[in-house]
Amino acid sequence: MGTPREQVLEAAARLFTSKGFAATSTREIAEAVGIRQASLYYHFAGKDEILAALLATTVRPTQMVVEEIVGLVPPERVETALCLLALVDIDTLARVPNNVGVLYRLPDVVSATNLDYASFRQAHGELVEAYADLGSRVAAQHGVTTSPPALGSMLIQQVEGVITQRAEGNEVDSDHAKEIAAGSLHLCGCTQAEADEAIDRAAALRSDLVALSAWGSQQSQRVV
């Protein structure tokens, strides 16, 4: 069942993704959990804070291991680092409960200006910068001249296609994850053979990444 806080997040995720953020009240969330509305406020100040906590689950697990990924991979194998980042991000988005990644595409969420949502945008922006850094280094090796900011946006959009796939009822399995990661490398000029090699190396490093960080334990606790 999880802790009361986790139950609130689970109920809110179901309601936000089915009804929309603006159309869901804290009373409905509390009723879905089976607690009083006042009890919900013991865990969260309001809907905005719940939203921020849910959005964080789509980006923070990946953002927290960027340094570990870079540290695991030799600089001359930067395409492997980019591939590993993509695979970790894909796994995060594929496993996050209720596909809450759809939330930051909703008009009533996109237009939010509260501080909590700004915090998420900052974290998301830092992840885009990580893609831009690794991607531009790969691209430079292949003569691709796309600007780093534009390339970072293209790469994260490629990975976040997972959100759309889940919304359409499609399972994102390991083969599909590898296809998405390969697509990211293609954007940077890699051939299919180079992408295949990078995927194999990145897959071999996954266990090392789990050992070095809390990412593995965080992911093992997720329920789709």
pLDDT reported for residue 88: 94
Domain assignment present for residue 136? The answer is yes
**Separation CA 71–CA 102 (nearest Å):** 31
pLDDT at 14: 95
- For range 101-124, the mean pLDDT: 79
* Together in a domain, 96 and 202: yes
49 within some domain: no
**Secondary structure of residue 221 in the 3-state scheme:** coil
Identify whether residues 5 and 68 lie together within a single domain: no
> What pLDDT does residue 72 have?
87
Q: Is the pLDDT of residue 1 over 70?
A: no
What's the mean pLDDT in 92-111? 87
Q: Is residue 107 part of a domain?
A: yes
* pLDDT greater than 80 at residue 39: yes
Rounded Cα–Cα distance for residues 125 and 142 (Å): 25
Same domain, 86 and 27: no
Q: What percent of the chain has pLDDT over 90?
A: 67
DSSP for residue 191:
-
Give domain status of residue 29, yes or no: yes
Residue 50 resides in a domain: no
- Range from 64-73, 116-125, 150-159, 215-224 carrying the lowest mean pLDDT: 215-224
The DSSP code for 23 is T
Question: Do 4 and 87 sit in the same domain of this protein?
Answer: no
Kindly report the CATH number assigned to the domain that includes residue 24.
1.10.10.60
* Block residue for tokens 């069942």: 1
In the chain the first and final C-alpha atoms are separated, in Å, by: 14
Claim to verify: residue 63 and residue 35 sit in the same structural domain: no
Structurally, the chain folds into a number of domains equal to 2
Domain span at 25: 1-44
Same domain, 214 and 164: yes
- pLDDT band for position 121 (cuts 50, 70, 90): confident
Are both 150 and 95 inside the same structural domain? yes
In a domain, residue 69? The reply is yes
Q: Are residues 24 and 109 in the same domain?
A: no
Element at 130 (helix H, strand E): helix 115-141
User: Is 112 among the domain residues?
Assistant: yes
Do 32 and 104 share a domain, yes or no?
no
20: region left, alpha or beta (phi > 0 left; psi from -120 to 50 alpha): left
Tell whether 3 and 35 lie within a shared domain.
yes
> Based on the domain organization, do 173 and 214 belong to the same domain?
yes
Contacts of 104 (CB under 8 A, 6+ apart): 55, 58, 110, 120, 124
**141 and 161: one domain?**
yes
- Residue 209 is predicted with a pLDDT of 79
pTM flag (> 0.85): yes
What would the pLDDT profile of 168-220 be if each residue is shown by its tens digit? 999 899 999 999 999 999 999 999 999 999 999 998 888 777 766 554 544 44
% of the chain with per-residue pLDDT over 70: 91
**Residue 163 forms part of a structural domain:** yes
